[in-house]
Amino acid sequence: MEERKLNEKESLELITQMIQNSKKNLQVGRGNQFILWGWLGAITSLAVMFMLMWTKNPVWNWLWFAIPVIGWPIMMWQLKKAEKPVVTFTDKVLKAVWMSIGSVGMAGIFLMAIYAKNMMLMLPGACILIAIGVFITGVVLDDPKTKTSAWSTLFVIMMASCHIVFMKDHFIWYYIVFSLGFIGMLVVPGYHLNKEAKKHVQGA
Partner 1 sequence: MFKELNPLLHSELRLAVMSMLLSVEEAEFTYLKQETKATAGNLSVQIDKLSKAGYIEVTKTMKGKMPCTLCRITPKGVEAFEEYVEALKTYINR
Query: How wide is the angle at C-alpha 117 spanned by C-alphas 111 and 123, nearest 5°?
Result: 65
Site for partner 1 in 106-135 (CB under 8 A): none
The rounded distance, in Å, linking the Cα atoms of 148 and 154 is 10
C-alpha pair distances (Å), 79 with each of 24, 69, 85, 181, 185: 19, 16, 13, 25, 21
Cβ–Cβ under 8 Å, residues 101 and 137: no
Of 24 and 195, CB closest to partner 1: 24
Closest distance to partner 1 from the beta carbon of 94 (Å): 12
Q: How far is the CB of 23 from partner 1 (least distance, A)?
A: 7
Task: Answer yes or no whether residue 165 interacts with partner 1 by CB under 8 A.
Answer: no
Closest to 71 (Cα-Cα) out of 129, 125, 32: 32
Query: Cβ closer to partner 1: 3 or 142?
Result: 3
Which of residues 69, 92, 116, 171 is near partner 1 by CB under 8 A?
Answer: 92
Q: Does 9 bind partner 1 (CB under 8 A)?
A: yes
Could you tell me the smallest distance in angstroms from the CB atom of residue 136 to partner 1? Answer: 18
Residue 99 in the binding site for partner 1 (CB under 8 A): no
| CB burial of residue 30 (10 Å; 0-12, 13-18, 19+) | buried
1 binds partner 1 (CB under 8 A): yes
Q: How far is CA 50 from CA 67, 69, 132, 175, 183, in A?
A: 16, 20, 29, 9, 18
Binding to partner 1, residues 24-63 (CB under 8 A): none
Nearer to partner 1, 95 or 195 (CB): 95
Residue 28 CA to residue 31 CA, distance in Å, equals 8
Based on CB atoms, which residue is closest to partner 1, 21 or 152? 21
Binding site for partner 1 (CB under 8 A): 1-6, 8-12, 14-15, 18-19, 21-23, 83, 85-89, 91-92
